[in-house]
Each structure stands twice: as C-alpha cells, then as structure tokens.
Amino acid sequence: MLRAVAGSVLGPVARQLTGAQPRIVFYHRFGELSARRLTAPLFAQQLRYLRRHFNPLSLSDVVQAQATDKPLPPRTIVLTVDDGYQDFAEVAYPLLLQYQVPVTLYAVSRFASGELWLWFDRLRYVCEQAVSQKLTVEWSEGLISVNLQTPVQREQAWDLLSTRCLTLPTVARESLIATFARCAKVVIPAQAPALFAAMDWTTLRSLDPALIEIGAHTQTHPILSMCTDSELVTEITASKLEIESALQRSVVSFCYPNGRDCDFDERSVCAVRAAGFHSAVTSSGMLLPPGSDPFRLPRFGVDSHFGTFCNEVNGLTYLRQRWSGAIAAPKPGEIPGSRASLAMP
Ligand SMILES: [Zn+2]
C-alpha cells in the first residue's frame, strides 16, 4: 500500500528526471493471464497510460535520431514484441491499432514458416503433459530430477530445464529435450499446438507496416553465444533474407534471443552488423543514454501489475536501483544498468 502511494507520488518525478532518455520495453505473449501472458484489458490499460504520459515512437525513428543527433521528444518510449506468436494478432494488434502505438515485432523465421516450434515451448509442453509425478532424467551431462506433482512444480521444472538449456549448444539442448520427452513418455507434435503457434506469413503480411515493423529474431531461436561460427552467421543472415523474401519488404532490426549479456557475444554483434541490420536490441538495461551503441540497445520487460508497470516505465525502478547502488550511473555510449531477464526468453 505504502509502496503504491510512493509510486503514484514519485512516478511523475522519476518520469521528469529520466524523461530525456528514451526507453525500450519488450513483451512476449498476450491472452489469458499467466507468467508470460498479458490480458487484453491489462495491455489496454498500459497503452492508455503510455499514450497519456509518453511519446510512443517506432524503433527506427529512435535509431535514426540517435545516429544523426536529432533531438527526440521528451518521454520517448518504444514498444517491442518478441517471437511472433499468433496471440499478438488476436489480442495485441487490435489494441495497438486502436491506440495507434507503433511496435517492432521480432519474428523467428522458421517458426513463422511453420517448420518448427520454439524449443522452450516444446519443453513446457513436455512438463505439462508428463503423467509421472517425479522424473529423473539421465543424459550425457549427468542427472536432473524434477517434481511434476502440482502446476507450480511443473512450472519450476520448466524453469530448471530451460535455464539449463540456455547454457547448451544446439545439439546438446535438443538432446536434453528429446531425452526428457522420452523419459516422460510424451510425444512432441511436429506442429505447434494452438497455444504455442506462430503468426504465419499471411498474418504477418496483413499487419499494417506503418504501425508494425517486422524485425528478425534468428531462424530457430538459439542462444547465439552457444552457436558455432557458421551456425551463428546462418541464423542471423538467413533469418533476415527469409523474412524479407516472405514479406517483400526490408528487414533492418534484429533482436538477440534471450538477450542477456551472456546470451550473445562479439561474434553475434559483428554478424548482425555485417548482415545489414541497422540496430539490435538486448534484454538488459533500462534507459538509452546519448550515443548508445545501436547494436546493443538496452530493453526491459514490463510487469503485468499496473503499479509496478508504471514504476518501470516512469524510470522509478531504474532510479531506485541506481540510488541503492545496484547499477552505476551510465556514461555516454554505455548500456545503463542491468536487470535480470524478466520473461524468458
Ligand atoms: Zn525470443
């Protein structure tokens, strides 16, 4: 209660103090409320707040302004959405049209083409469908035990396994998922079930390009720092070409999968630059200082709780972290602050 009152008083002050620095937020999924999904009424409430207190701009406008030292309006905010699930078209897009808020949407090219579904969703599917109440998985790197008795335990199992997968090369990650599915006696369907489905090319083409920019988020959503040199270059370069070919428009914005500092490396940044992208976003940091590296643009995920969301977008969360010493004041050209990934991946 006290925190909510403090937020409502200090929020406008924080917004004023940090208003000169643009901010980029990211979303993943929309629909029925869960840890990774935002309902339509909650998203509409957030959009109304942003329209009232901020200047929502497209990512390209911000990148271009920063490159040419052109001033941006105060309280500039950019919305981005990762992965390209079907629920974007059904839940988020009508609201973005209604409130006229631009978004950069990062599509995974082989997911959009229906050739695969995302590895962390396949893992979630196995956790949800497993009949056993407890499983011990033996694979090449040892034993992993998980409890699957309750929905909370299944969520914890997914969290444990997906976190483990983030540190694995593609082959080892797929081996762990296959072994886990076999032990759990779950057959993973070739096509994503409706809950985990992507927007296909027809749907992506139907989104108004004046409002929704389509960027690239690799071909298969690997962790780039775990990829070999050739995998990395193919994932980045081919995703751009595949989306451009399917949509017949230029793709200039890139998003590193999972996006924490450890999830991509210098090779990834070089490959993104060489492929002809104009910018790339991460998932750590909160505000853009002048002179930000366009290939390491910081972003943060927002909470579904409205009061927390307001504190985050107003910059109050950033200032609290800075004043508590959790993050250092940014120097020009540096990514300001850092924050744990809020919504994997
Ligand atoms: Zn992603």
Domain boundary among 183, 204, 231: 183
**Within this chain, do residues 200 and 301 fall inside the same structural domain, yes or no?**
yes
The pLDDT assigned to 327 comes to 60
Tell how far the Cα of 147 is from the centroid of ligand 1, in angstroms. Answer: 27
Residue 204 falls inside a structural domain? yes
Residue 329 falls inside a structural domain? no
**Count of domains in the chain?**
2
Which of 27, 84, 62, 119 is closest to 243 using CA atoms?
A: 84
Tell how far the Cα of 302 is from the centroid of ligand 1, in angstroms. Answer: 15
Tell how far the Cα of 201 is from the centroid of ligand 1, in angstroms. Answer: 18
Which stretches of 150-304 are assigned E, i.e. beta strand? 212-216, 253-255, 279-281, 300-301
Which of 245, 323, 344 is closest to 18 using CA atoms?
A: 323
Tell how far the Cα of 154 is from the centroid of ligand 1, in angstroms. Answer: 21
Residue 38 is which amino acid?
L
Instruction: Give the separation between CA 74 and CA 87, rounded to whole angstroms.
Output: 31
What's 284's domain CATH number?
Answer: 3.20.20.370
Which residues have C-beta within 8 Å of that of residue 90, sequence separation ≥ 6?
30, 31
Mean pLDDT of the chain: 90
**Within this chain, do residues 201 and 89 fall inside the same structural domain, yes or no?**
yes
Instruction: Give the separation between CA 133 and CA 150, rounded to whole angstroms.
Output: 8
Element (H, E) at 55: strand 55-56
Domain that holds residue 156: 119-183
Tell how far the Cα of 27 is from the centroid of ligand 1, in angstroms. Answer: 10
Please determine, for residue 140, whether its predicted confidence score (pLDDT) is greater than 90. no
Tell how far the Cα of 221 is from the centroid of ligand 1, in angstroms. Answer: 6
Tell how far the Cα of 258 is from the centroid of ligand 1, in angstroms. Answer: 6
**Within this chain, do residues 211 and 94 fall inside the same structural domain, yes or no?**
yes
290 contacts 278 by C-beta, under 8 angstroms: no
pLDDT digits (tens, 9 = 90+) for 6-56: 667 889 999 999 989 999 999 999 998 666 789 999 999 999 999 999 999
**Within this chain, do residues 166 and 209 fall inside the same structural domain, yes or no?**
no
Tell how far the Cα of 199 is from the centroid of ligand 1, in angstroms. Answer: 14
Give me the helix-helix angle, 316-323 and 306-314, nearest 10°. Answer: 70
Instruction: Give the separation between CA 220 and CA 241, rounded to whole angstroms.
Output: 14
**Within this chain, do residues 222 and 104 fall inside the same structural domain, yes or no?**
yes
Residue 344 falls inside a structural domain? no
**Within this chain, do residues 211 and 78 fall inside the same structural domain, yes or no?**
yes
Domain boundary among 133, 161, 183: 183
pLDDT-based confidence at residue 142 (cuts at 50, 70, 90): confident
Which residues have C-beta within 8 Å of that of residue 191, sequence separation ≥ 6?
114, 117
How many percent of the chain have pLDDT more than 70?
A: 91
Tell how far the Cα of 310 is from the centroid of ligand 1, in angstroms. Answer: 24
Please determine, for residue 329, whether its predicted confidence score (pLDDT) is greater than 50. yes
Tell how far the Cα of 345 is from the centroid of ligand 1, in angstroms. Answer: 5
Residue 296 falls inside a structural domain? yes
**Within this chain, do residues 107 and 124 fall inside the same structural domain, yes or no?**
no
**Within this chain, do residues 145 and 28 fall inside the same structural domain, yes or no?**
no
Q: Nearest-5° angle of CA 202, CA 204, CA 205?
A: 65
Least reliable range by pLDDT among 18-22, 182-186, 205-209, 337-341? 337-341
**Within this chain, do residues 91 and 210 fall inside the same structural domain, yes or no?**
yes
Residue 334 falls inside a structural domain? no
pLDDT-based confidence at residue 144 (cuts at 50, 70, 90): confident
The pLDDT assigned to 324 comes to 80
**Within this chain, do residues 137 and 201 fall inside the same structural domain, yes or no?**
no
**Within this chain, do residues 23 and 45 fall inside the same structural domain, yes or no?**
yes
Residue 290 falls inside a structural domain? yes
Please determine, for residue 334, whether its predicted confidence score (pLDDT) is greater than 70. no
* 138, β-bridge pairs: 143
Instruction: Give the separation between CA 83 and CA 296, rounded to whole angstroms.
Output: 18
Residue 39 falls inside a structural domain? yes
Q: pTM of the full predicted structure?
A: 0.91
Domain boundary among 133, 162, 183: 183
How many percent of the chain have pLDDT more than 90?
A: 77
Residue 343 falls inside a structural domain? no
pLDDT digits (tens, 9 = 90+) for 263-317: 999 999 999 999 999 999 999 888 998 888 999 999 999 999 999 999 999 999 9
Please determine, for residue 3, whether its predicted confidence score (pLDDT) is greater than 70. no
| Residue range 177-204: mean pLDDT, rounded | 95
Tell how far the Cα of 143 is from the centroid of ligand 1, in angstroms. Answer: 27
pLDDT digits (tens, 9 = 90+) for 227-265: 999 999 999 999 999 999 999 999 999 999 999 999 999
Instruction: Give the separation between CA 137 and CA 139, rounded to whole angstroms.
Output: 6
220 contacts 226 by C-beta, under 8 angstroms: no
Instruction: Give the separation between CA 111 and CA 104, rounded to whole angstroms.
Output: 17
**Within this chain, do residues 211 and 65 fall inside the same structural domain, yes or no?**
yes
